[in-house]
Amino acid sequence: PRPGAVPPLSRHAPPAVMAEGSGGGASGRGPPCPGAASAFRRWEQLRRRAATPWARGLLAAAAGLGLLYAVLRVPVRLRDGLAAVTVFLSTLTPKFYFALTVTSSFISGLIFVFEWWHFRKYGTSFIEQVSVSHLRPLIGGAESSPPAPAAFSAGESESSRQNMPECKVWRNPLNLFRGAEYSRYMWVTGKEPLTYYDMNLSAQDHQTFFTCDTDALRPSDTVMQKAWRERNPQARIKAAYQALELNNDCATAYVLLAEEEATTIVDAEKYFKQALKAGEMIYRKSQNCHSQSPQHEAQLRRDTNVLVYVKRRLAMCARKLGRIREAVKMMRDLMKEFPLLSMLNIHENLLEALLELQAYADVQAVLAKYDDISLPKSAAICYTAALLKARAVSERFSPETASRRGLSTAEINAVEAIHRAVEFNPHVPKYLLEMKSLVLPPEHILKRGDSEAVAYAFFHLQHWKRIEGALNLLHCTWEGTFRMIPYPLEKGHLFYPYPSCTETADRELLPTFHEVSVYPQKELPFFIHFTAGLCSFSAMLALLTHQFPELMVIFAKA
């Protein structure tokens, strides 16, 4: 039965008890059983006698004697216990104290190392996490705070969902080629540059972009549909060749070979040119019959995705091979031909190519179109805008001169642009100033996260170095951004508050050998300080016990 609940009557209870329990007090009738009536009268007499003053005094005297006995008896037992402990300690040797302190130092050191590893890997204290998630419910901590009313909590959660930015992962607009770049890096260094999570996202993208419901009508597309789901690269390449044997004009098969089998950019460009030829032919056929049924519309969308992807990668091949003006023209034509596909962020490829040409007026024209308050921002847009404004003043900028005469209007604009960019993504300056080492950018990035900072700095560091004084201006001003941002980040200054979920997503996207940048920097948990202090104190006691055994034994006994 529950605590405080009346236990059910037993099936074998005496009839008198059952009758007394079931009899109604409201009826005023006496109990039907004579034995029960006599017991009830005796109980009433004892209760009345206990209520008299002399009975209460007798009970108080008995309680006082019991308390006096306990007060006199407990010190005697404590003295006996202390005497036994003293005898036990007097028999211990210095070797015991040395072993005790060494063991204590070793165990606390192991706990400290594990806590430090867990904090560096997961960002939390293991002891604190266990105590919050497992011990608090046992001691009733979860019940101490009553839930809010349903109407208020629902409205507040809805508003918080609207204000809280979602940590959405985006396709990297400048992602490298797997066969020609990522695989070569792995061959040289022996390190895997891509995580399983990142490659799994790419497989999902390929299935979304390059497959549709009508693939079952064409055997080659059916083979490619299975190829995009394969985990083994060699199995994917083998499936692509099988698709080409069934249909020599299978554009997606050429795309897969260009991405994964080609070991150089030149070979990748050859495959993409074959994919472009096949893709344009299929795209024209889909355009002629897209209005016949919903299946034909889905096929047109798929063929459009293939064509746009191939043209974009061809432009990137031209950019990597030094044909930059050709790459710029291809990107402009692509953006003009498919203006509704701005979500693919082709303008970021165009910005990087124009910066390589040093066509700063064209860069400013692109920024004027895409650096709009209603459009989603990126590190490429914010930092490129800051670079253009820094270019106007960086050559003559000097911190000493600026502190004497103050900042000019152009310098204030440049500093504000840098502060705006740093608030959007605070991880970028350390890579641009080469305070942190770069790795190959992942195939997917998290906006405002460390993965986006790596991807931006990997391609744009050379553009900052090309402009004299730009990095010096960044070095002198970027840390001033954090004095303008409210702490602890409940509000933003120019953007919405910095999301708290970037660290977890970046650890999934970036390789394990890369040290993920964390913002805001987390303080060390209490238990790391505690275990470090305990380990140091135990080690010091062990050292003193080893050097001065007799003195430490006397100290321990005292």
Residue 145: per-residue pLDDT: 40
Please, is 194 exposed, middle or buried when counting C-beta atoms within 10 Å of its C-beta (0-12, 13-18, 19+)? buried
Q: What is the mean pLDDT of residues 153-165?
A: 39
* Spatial separation of the C-alpha atoms in residues 248 and 459, rounded to whole Å: 36
pLDDT by residue (tens digit) across 48-105?
766 677 667 777 777 777 776 666 666 666 777 777 766 766 666 777 777 877 888 7
Residue 504: per-residue pLDDT: 84
Q: How confident is the model at residue 261 (pLDDT cuts 50, 70, 90)?
A: very high
pLDDT by residue (tens digit) across 442-461?
999 998 889 999 999 999 99
pLDDT by residue (tens digit) across 108-147?
788 878 877 777 666 667 777 776 666 556 555 444 443 3
Please, are residues 210 and 252 in contact by the beta-carbon 8 Å criterion? yes
| Half-sphere CA count of 514, side-chain side, radius 13 A | 27
pLDDT by residue (tens digit) across 304-346?
999 999 999 999 999 999 999 999 999 999 999 888 777 788 9
Residue 2: per-residue pLDDT: 44
- What tokens appear for 554 in the block? 């006397």
Q: Is the pLDDT score of 3 beyond 50?
A: no
Please, is 185 exposed, middle or buried when counting C-beta atoms within 10 Å of its C-beta (0-12, 13-18, 19+)? middle
- Greater model confidence, 249 or 24: 249
pLDDT by residue (tens digit) across 373-410?
666 788 999 999 999 999 988 877 777 777 777 778 88
Q: What is the mean pLDDT of residues 351-357?
A: 94
Q: Which of 18-27, 236-245, 314-323, 425-434 has the lowest mean pLDDT?
A: 18-27
Residue 258: per-residue pLDDT: 94
* Spatial separation of the C-alpha atoms in residues 512 and 515, rounded to whole Å: 8
Instruction: Give the residues across from 85 on adjacent strands.
Output: none
- DSSP letters for 400-413: HHHHHH---HHHHH
The backbone torsions φ and ψ at residue 291, rounded to the nearest 5 degrees and listed phi first, read -90, 5
- Greater model confidence, 38 or 174: 174
- The pTM of this model reads 0.66
Residue 101: per-residue pLDDT: 78
Tell me the percentage of the chain whose pLDDT exceeds 90: 32
In order of their start, the domains of the chain are 195-357 (1.25.40.10), 359-534 (no CATH)
Residue 13: per-residue pLDDT: 41
Angle (CA) 303 308 314, round 5°? 125
Residue 125: per-residue pLDDT: 72
- Greater model confidence, 17 or 312: 312
Q: Is the pLDDT score of 174 beyond 70?
A: yes
Q: How confident is the model at residue 491 (pLDDT cuts 50, 70, 90)?
A: low
pLDDT by residue (tens digit) across 523-551?
566 777 777 787 788 888 778 777 777 77
Residue 28: per-residue pLDDT: 42
- Greater model confidence, 102 or 175: 175
* Spatial separation of the C-alpha atoms in residues 68 and 18, rounded to whole Å: 45
- What tokens appear for 482 in the block? 């954090």
**Chain-wide mean pLDDT for the chain?**
78
Tell me the percentage of the chain whose pLDDT exceeds 70: 73
Residue 14: per-residue pLDDT: 40
**Beta-sheet strands, E only, within 138-283:** 169-171
- What SS3 state is found at 92? coil
Residue 272: per-residue pLDDT: 94
